[in-house]
Amino acid sequence: MQIDLNKIKEPLLNFFKLFWQKLFLFLVFFLLIDLILGGFLFWHYYLKAEQAQIFLPPTLTINQSFLNDFSAKWQEKELNFEQALSKDFPDLFNPVVSD
- pLDDT value at 94 more than 90: no
User: What's the confidence (pLDDT) of residue 56?
Assistant: 63
- Domain count of the chain? 1
Kindly report, residue by residue over 61-86, the tens digit of the pLDDT: 778 888 999 999 999 999 999 998 88
- Does 94 map to a domain? no
- Does 39 map to a domain? yes
Residues spanned by the domain of 43: 5-52+62-86
- Does 92 map to a domain? no
- Does 70 map to a domain? yes
Q: Decide: 73 and 65 in contact? Cβ < 8 Å.
A: no
44/50 Cα distance (integer angstroms): 10
Mean pLDDT score across all residues of the chain: 85
Instruction: Give me the mean pLDDT over the 20-35 stretch.
Output: 92
42/36 Cα distance (integer angstroms): 10
- Does 9 map to a domain? yes
- pLDDT value at 97 more than 90: no
